[in-house]
Amino acid sequence: MADNTMIVCRCEEITYGELVDTIEKYDCSARELKLRTRAGMGYCGGRSCRSMVDRIAHQGKEKSEAQISLKYQPPIRPVRFGDLGAVINEK
């Protein structure tokens, strides 16, 4: 069993205990858990915690088609900081 103070989502500083408490209180899916706690919605977009949040949400539940895994959506295209600075300097 994990320590309740262990941080699962570093970007939003969401702990394992917060995730488990939210699941127990609302009996939520992985998607609802993400929306209620903001786990996976930080700067990295869930690249570091998405699979763990998904596992925690499905822990102890029977596998069914109703359980929706978290969606991973990378940025459309990367933008260099130099390009952003160039736009600002032209104004």
CATH number of 43's domain: 1.10.10.1100
Burial string for 20-56 (b: 16+ CB within 10 Å, else e) reads bebbeeeebbbbebbeebebbbbeeebeebbebbbeb
The single-letter DSSP state of residue 7 is E
Indicate whether 32 belongs to any domain. yes
Indicate whether 2 belongs to any domain. no
pTM above 0.75, yes or no: no
Q: Which domain holds residue 34?
A: 7-90
Instruction: Express each pLDDT in 4-41 by its tens digit.
Output: 899 999 999 999 999 999 999 998 888 899 999 999 88
Indicate whether 66 belongs to any domain. yes
Question: Could you give the number of structural domains in the chain?
Answer: 1
- Give the per-residue pLDDT at 65: 44
Instruction: Express each pLDDT in 35-88 by its tens digit.
Output: 999 998 888 888 888 889 989 988 877 655 445 556 656 656 677 777 777 655
